[in-house]
Every structure is written in C-alpha cells, then in structure tokens.
Structure 1
Amino acid sequence: MSTVNADGHGFEKTLPARRFVRYQRQHVLLVNVLPLIGTLIAFALLPWYPPTPATLIALVVLWPLTLGVGGSVGFHRCFTHRSFECARPVKLILAIFGTIGGQGPVASWVATHRRHHDCSDDVGDPHSPVTEAQGGLAKLRAFWHSHCGWMVEHDMPNPLFYTPDILKDSDLMWFSRHYYRVMLVGLFVPVALLVAFDPSWQTVWLGLLWTGAVRLTLTSQFIWAINSVCHFVGYRRYHTSDESRNVALICVPTCGESWHNNHHAFPTSARFGLRWWQFDFGWLVIRLLQFCGLAWNVKVPAADKIVGGPDAS
C-alpha cells in the first residue's frame, strides 16, 4: 500500500543514482564509517578509559529520544505516514531528534520510505533482501544490501513525486537543508552538559565517543535491521504483498519498529504493537502526546481488522 501524496503525480518516481552517488557516499563516510571507527576505539580503550556513569546515562537517554521519539514517532509515523497530527512545537522537537539520529535529511528519508512502501520487496524497493537467486552466498549478499549496502549507491526517490507535502513544509525543509549542522549540535550539546558536571578533556572525548560515535553506530544497526532482519526472519501475522515480518526479539531497542508485519498491514496506523504484549515505545509516546492535547487525529486500525489470522506462508 502506498502512502504517496497525490500532489506528486506527474513527476518521475526516481532520479538516477549517478547524480547523487557522491553525496550518498559522503553521508556513509561521515555518519556511518567515522562513527564505526570511533566505536571501535571506544571499546578498545574500555579497560583503561571506561565511560562515566553520567556518560552511560546520557547514552541511554539519547537512544529512545533519537531512535524512538525522533525516528519512529517523528520521521516514520508522523512525517511519512501522517498517522497523527501534532502541534508545531512537537513537530519541531520530533524533527530535531530525528535529524540527530543521523539517518539522513527528513525530506530524503521520507521519500525513500514512501518508495519502499510503494514497491515493497518488488522491483524498485531501495532496500529489499528478497532475491530469486539461489544459494547461501546470494542470500547473504541480498541481506547485506538491505541492511546497509544500498546506501552507498541507489536511485534517489524523487521528492517532487513522493514528498510534495514535505517540500511545502518550511520547518521540515529547514531541517533538511541544515541536516549536518543540526547533527553537529546533537553531538556537542550532550558533551557540553557532561562537561558542566565534570569539566575535563577526558569528559569531552569520552562523551563524543559514547554519546556520539557509539550511539550513532548502535542505533543505526537496529534501524537498519528493520529493512533487513524484519524482511528476512520472524513471523507473519497478516497477509501482505511483501515479506515483512514481526521480530519480537528487537522490539525494545527499536522502540516498537520491529512489529514490521503489523506496520505493513496497516501502514498509516500510529500503533505498531497491535497486541497488549507487543511493546511499542513509539505508541506510548503518541498516546502521551494525545493525552496532553499535543497530538490528534491519531489513526489506528479498527478492532475487527486487528484480529487477523496468522499467515501460513
């Protein structure tokens, strides 16, 4: 099921990769490779320079704020699928934390995800692990492509087709234009707060390593797992036209995103964990916003549709 704004019809759906490959590889280098190197350094130095309790607390707090509040609630459920409406201050907070999460500018992220739903696990899906090729090596390559390989070079979903609503939103376009600057603020503000309590150069570089590099690396792995693992293993409660699956094991670190078959069955639903026992941090945040009068028109599927039978495939 597509969630494309009809105003975008009449434009080409994708733009050729060759026009964007330099930017795509630059992003991978700056936001993925460098943090990975920083993470390896942080763990290598762990016996001699462990993170302070305050640094670990900052990491634990930033995880759900960036991946859950910004990424899942903001970029995914609100901006992409319009599963609820919210007050402007809330929108700005969602955009800030989503941008700090380091998954790309909001306009391109939304376009890519709408493209994914437009042709999920079919020709044109930017990050599908599904392949007709036989053999373990072919499946491993497909898994790698869906997890992170696709980011190095891929056709760019055309924002004019997929995100005309985002292009008209001056707030979200500001965050798209200033993506790297906002990310830098997100790296240094937590460090500044840590230094305020423990002023030392060691606090600075340990803070950058753990609340910056380690956070970006670990949260990215779980975000990418939605594209790879959740289209590869797990169970299917609902019949969908793709291979989306629910993976309970990672529902906590992904803030509810791993109820992926539920999401593909009801893409405009603000609630991904459709059973009482399916932990969904993003849904809890939306319910809190709704209770406070900061979110409204919250979309959830009707109870009789949620019942659904398990997919025998």
Structure 2
Amino acid sequence: MTPPAVATPEAPEAPTTQAVTGPYDDDVNTGTLGGEQKQVWEQVALALFIGIPFLAVLAAVPIAWGGFLGWHDIILAAVFYTLAGHGISIGFHRLFTHKSFKPNRPLKYALAIAGSLAIEGPVVRWVADHRKHHKFSDRDGDPHSPWKYGNTVGGLTKGFFHAHVGWLFDTEQTPQRQYAPDLLKDKDIVRVSRMFPLLVATSLLLPAVIGGLWSMSFEGALTAFFWASLVRIALLHHVTWSINSICHTIGDRPFKSRDKSGNVWWLAILSQGESWHNLHHSDPTCARHGVLKGQLDTSARCIWFFEKMGWLSDVRWPVKERLEARRNSASTRTLKAA
C-alpha cells in the first residue's frame, strides 16, 4: 500500500522575523545551547567530532580485514544509523523545519531525541540553519551553497568543500530567535536542545555498552564503539552533508525550483529519501520527497506508518495536481501514485 493523497493548502514557512518572549527569554540569543558566535571550544569540539570518526572510516577496511567486525557490530551500527538518520530526516527536517505534519507529544520528543543522536547540533540550531538555507538557497546568504564562489572549476571545488563541511566552521551562527522563534517557544524542544551534550554522550557510549553486554566481553564493547559509534557517525554526517554539496551540484531536476537542487538516486537509501532533493525545494512542506515512480523514501513510509498508528495528523502528502504544476516541461517520468 502507499500513502493516500490529501489535498492540503500551501503551508508558509515558519516566521523569520518574530521576536520571542517566554519562559526562556533570559537566554537572549538562543534560549538553548550556544550563542550567535561560535566559541573556540566549539570549533575544537567540532573538529574532533568530524576528524576522529573520519579517521575511523579510513581505518575501517584494515580493521574489518583483521577480523574485528562481527554481526553484533553490523546490527548495532545499522540500528543506530537508522534511528539517528530518520530522526534527522523525519524530525529535524520534515517536522521541526517544515511542519509537514503534526505529531503527538511523545512522538515529538522521540524524533527530537533521535535526531540529536546524529550529533549534527542541537535541534533549534539545526532548524535555524536549514530555514536560512531555504530562504537564500544557492544565493547570497545561503549558509552552505556549493555555488558560493562561482561556477568555474576552482570556484566549484572551493564551494563544494564549503557546502560539504567548511560552512560548519563559520564563527557567525544563524540567529535562532529570527529563524526558529516557534521552537524557542516550545518548552519540550528547548529542553531537548539543552540536553544535547548528554545525548552526544549517549550516542557515543550506548553502542559500546550494548555491544559489551551482548558479547559479555570488553572486545565486544570496543568493536561496537568503533563501528556503531565512530564509523556510523562519520557515515551519517557525510551523507547528510552530501545533500548540501552533491545534491546542489548534480542530479535530475524534474521539478521547477529557484535553485540548483537535484535528485541523486544513489544516495536515496542512505539518506532516508532526502536525496530526492529537487522536489523538496520545489515543494518544501511536502511530507514525501520521492514522489516519482521508483523513488524510495523510507522517511515518508515511516510518516505513513505513524499516521496509521494515530501518532500524528495533518500530513501534507503530495497532491498530484500541485506537483504537475511544478513539473519542468522536459520531464516525462510519471508521478508515483499518491
């Protein structure tokens, strides 16, 4: 079965200029974790969280060849990758950034916590960055456009690195009060955002604890930490960042958009459907990104399941007539049945 089509009106993006007052107003800049200027300790921590997992990936082949990879490690890595990846895609992106559906309170908490396990920053900061990206997509003001330095070979090379990882080291942060005022008013989301350091520790250490108990050995804990923590984090980071870099550089563009967002099919499974990026930028509030025939979108499948379970409502499923109006004239692929 496939999710039913629901005719829903265009949903505006969250306000970007509204002032915030409320229970967390004492934290003038954000109400959550961090300010509008990235501190030195944050830069150092960021470099460590990027560099150490990346080194683990480089070491993965010889370590696996040496026999230090078992089924426990593979299962734990897959489970934590799937949990955190869908937390980013369904929670941080489609729910908190674009309001593609309305969850009940337990699901809202679960998605915010699951997304935080990806270690891509506190939820409010992540949302603020992404909303700013949509406001200025591939134009001046976009935090991570690969076209920032022009379309020459040298400019694109520099821009690609900037879009993939370089932008993370910008000292100036996206103003959360400007781009995520709705989340700063939500006590639940502010609470989870403030818990980010604890959730980082959980994401790093819980696989090792489970791996050690599962195998009843220190070696099991160590290999689980290597594969299900370090390698898993690095892979998920680079897949997420590839949506910023690769999917704004190459890919099919069957739908009209004001930027260079494209669909990259070979990233679809690893990105939980996020790499069907052209439709997303054409219709940002749509709960399903893979709307053409054969486009697998596991995040949309999960949303459909949650809807059937009664855990969420008001899903903005794709509407065929609306999508047809956004089609590029050269596109001939058929729309996936809603």
Equivalences for 1:246-265 in 2 at 5 Å?
246-265=263-282
Match of 2:136 in 1: 119
Segment drifting more, 123-132 vs 105-114 = 123-132
Equivalences for 1:35-54 in 2 at 5 Å?
35-54=53-72
Distance 1:240 1:311, change over 3 A: farther
Of residues 282, 294, 299 in structure 2, which corresponds to 1:277? 294
Contact 1:21 1:153 in 2 (8 A): no
Match of 1:31 in 2: 49
What displacement does 1:67 show?
A: 0.7
Contact 2:140 2:148 in 1 (8 A): no
Contact 2:124 2:190 in 1 (8 A): yes
Tell me the distance in 2 between the aligned counterparts of 1:74 and 1:274.
19
Which stretches in structure 1 are left out of the alignment for 5+ residues?
Answer: none
Which stretches in structure 2 are left out of the alignment for 5+ residues?
Answer: 1-10, 21-28, 332-338
TM-score (norm: length of structure 2):
0.85
Match of 2:237 in 1: 220
RMSD of Structure 2 on Structure 1 (CA): 2.4
| 1:137-159 deviations in Å (ceiling 9; x for gaps) | 22111111001111111531111
Instruction: Give yes or no for the alignment of 1:8 onto 2:22.
Output: no
Distance 1:309 1:37, change over 3 A: same
Instruction: Give yes or no for the alignment of 1:22 onto 2:40.
Output: yes
- The letter for the 1-side match of 2:46 is V
Equivalences for 1:1-313 in 2 at 5 Å?
3-5=13-15, 8=18, 19-22=37-40, 24-68=42-86, 70-131=87-148, 133-307=150-324, 308-310=326-328
* Structure 2 residue matching 1:278: 3-state secondary structure: coil
Distance 1:311 1:148, change over 3 A: farther
Tell me the distance in 2 between the aligned counterparts of 1:113 and 1:186.
23
Tell me the distance in 2 between the aligned counterparts of 1:2 and 1:47.
51
Distance 1:6 1:145, change over 3 A: closer
Contact 1:126 1:154 in 2 (8 A): no
- The letter for the 2-side match of 1:101 is A
Tell me the distance in 2 between the aligned counterparts of 1:88 and 1:9.
25
Contact 1:65 1:97 in 2 (8 A): yes
Contact 2:97 2:130 in 1 (8 A): yes
- The letter for the 2-side match of 1:258 is S
What displacement does 1:24 show?
A: 4.5
Tell me the distance in 1 between the aligned counterparts of 2:68 and 2:59.
11
| Structure that is richer in helix per residue | 1
**Matched pairs, number:** 309
Tell me the distance in 1 between the aligned counterparts of 2:170 and 2:329.
34
> Matched residues, percent identical?
32
Tell me the distance in 1 between the aligned counterparts of 2:318 and 2:41.
39
- The letter for the 1-side match of 2:51 is V
Tell me the distance in 1 between the aligned counterparts of 2:104 and 2:301.
17
Segment drifting more, 120-129 vs 20-29 = 20-29
* Structure 1 residue matching 2:65: 3-state secondary structure: coil
Contact 1:3 1:118 in 2 (8 A): no
Tell me the distance in 2 between the aligned counterparts of 1:151 and 1:2.
27
Tell me the distance in 2 between the aligned counterparts of 1:238 and 1:9.
35
What displacement does 1:95 show?
A: 1.2
